[in-house]
Amino acid sequence: MASTKELVYRLWRKLEGGFIPDDSKFTYRELKGYIRSGIGLALKQNYYESLNADEYRYGADTISATSTLTVQADATTGLKYITLPASTINVAGNRQNIVTSKNPIARYTTSYVPVRAEEVFVAKLQPSIPCVVLYYKEGNKLFFYNGIVTDTEVKLTQRYALPTDDDAELGLDDYENQIIAQAMQLIINPQIPSDRANDGVPNI
Amino acid sequence: MANVKLSQAVSYALDELNYGSAEYARAYRFAIRALDELRLDITGGAATVTLPVSCNLTVPLPDDFIRETKVGIWGANNTIIALTRSNDLSFETAIQDYEYVDPNENYYKLNDERFNTYVTESLGKGSYANVGYFRIDYTAKLIILNPEFTYSEIVLEYLKREEVDGEYTVDERLLESVAAYIRYKWHIGKKGTSLGERREYERLWHKEKRNAKYRINKPLIQDMNRSAREGTKGGLKS
């Protein structure tokens, strides 16, 4: 399984026709941007393909990244929160960020349940749900409420997250060629400037 | 009869619908509504309270009152003698003029002209034990009693609203009903659900509710035998 860095260098070699010279007109950062966009598209494609293949709403289990995060308290509101390490693809719903205790199957573990930010308003008007901690996403943070968070650290599983570490394996073997091909198409497609004066000389 | 956590019924529905934690909160709120529905029709426990009669012959309803099941006075052998419901009683409860009758008795005789009526008793064939009349004003949350009512207390047996402290629990015989309700409500507003599917889910919910009712309120053979014997009547034989 290739990582982001491997895909970037694969693309770079194709563009340069072999060895990458020191004076290459491309930079790593620029090519990484194209590759990341392709990765995002591939993730979204995989997600919808999984939905079509199976009624399971959470997509492929293999495409997820797990991390242990420290629970912090907001100084102004007192709400506990965690900061998301990576961003996920843009799909509707709240299935992308799953929070559990470090040992989710222990007998006295706290259960964490995601809700959408709009649901927070509706839920306040109804009986509260006992024995779970609810959390909602605001920006790049997940805020907890409805229960006492006793864990100082929680485990976060992000599904279909765009990688933050260039060396991390992507798990998108089926889409590697597609990602590179899309990036190639964007880079080598010549841009024809318009000719507003219609004098045969393109406007630059 | 064992009570299990409501979250178990929720998990049945989520499992069936192939959902997970992201749908738990919504499904749980549906389950709470299912409990309310089932409590009103099937499992609601009745509470019995003794309430004092006010000077204007009214009795305020308790705060957690949902619906009355019996209104009466205490009889012998720990029984309740039922009052007779009368929709002829007015909701007017203001005392216009009163005369204090007896210092040992806790009521006032009303001298208002509206109350100068004769008391009708129930006599003869088809009669019933009639110790008083009542009417419930649900808006004002009062039980209105007839002017001739002489008792200082009444007994109210009623369906009460239950306050839940902690985890919701449900009778294990209702698990499938709760799951059916979640399924029904989930699809009622779901995009792409056809009218036929919605009706089918509603039908299945009603079916499970009926099953739960029969499981919980199942008549005993001995009760049916007694009803059959009591219904036996003698007749002339030609």
Q: In this predicted model, what pLDDT tens digit does every residue of B41-80 receive, in sequence order?
A: 777 677 899 999 988 889 999 988 888 889 999 888 888 8
Phi first, then psi: what are they for B155, rounded to 5°? -110, 130
| Separation between Cα atoms, residue B177 and residue B173, nearest integer Å | 8
Residue-wise pLDDT tens digits, A125-145: 888 888 889 999 998 899 998
Lookup: tokens for A22: 């020191």
Q: CA A58 to CA B17: how far, in whole Å?
A: 13
Query: What is the pLDDT at residue A127?
Result: 84
Query: Mutating which of A112, A113, A154 best tests the B interface, going by the most B Cβ atoms within 10 A?
Result: A113
| Number of Cβ atoms within 10 Å of the Cβ of B86 | 13
**Helices H / strands E in chain A, number of each:** 4, 8
Closest CB from B25, B164, B167 relative to A113? B25
Tell me the residues of chain B between 6 and 25 that have a Cβ less than 8 Å away from chain A.
7, 18-25
Interchain proximity B22–A132, CB inside 8 Å: no
* A86 shares contact with chain B (CB less than 8 Å): no
Q: Do the chains contact at A123 and B25, CB–CB below 8 Å? A: yes
ipTM of the prediction greater than 0.85, yes or no: no
Q: What is the mean pLDDT of each run of 10 residues along chain A (204 residues)?
A: 90 89 89 90 87 75 84 91 87 84 85 89 85 90 89 90 84 88 82 68 69
Cβ–Cβ gap A123/B18 under 8 Å: no
**Confidence (pLDDT) at B105:** 54
Whether residues B166 and A115 touch (CB distance < 8 A) is answered with no
| A149 to chain B, closest Cα gap in Å | 17
Q: Between A95, A114, A126, which is nearest B29 by CB?
A: A126
Q: In what order do the strands lie in the sheet with B84-85?
A: B58-60, B142-145, B133-137, B84-85
Identity of the residue in B21, B32, B168 whose CB atom sits nearest the CB atom of A113: B21
CB contact under 8 A, A134 and B167: no
- A with B: how many residue pairs have Cβ under 8 Å apart? 46
CB of B136 closer than 8 Å to CB of B51: no
Q: pTM for the full model?
A: 0.74
Query: What's the confidence (pLDDT) of residue B118?
Result: 47
> What integer pLDDT is reported at residue A6 of this predicted model?
92
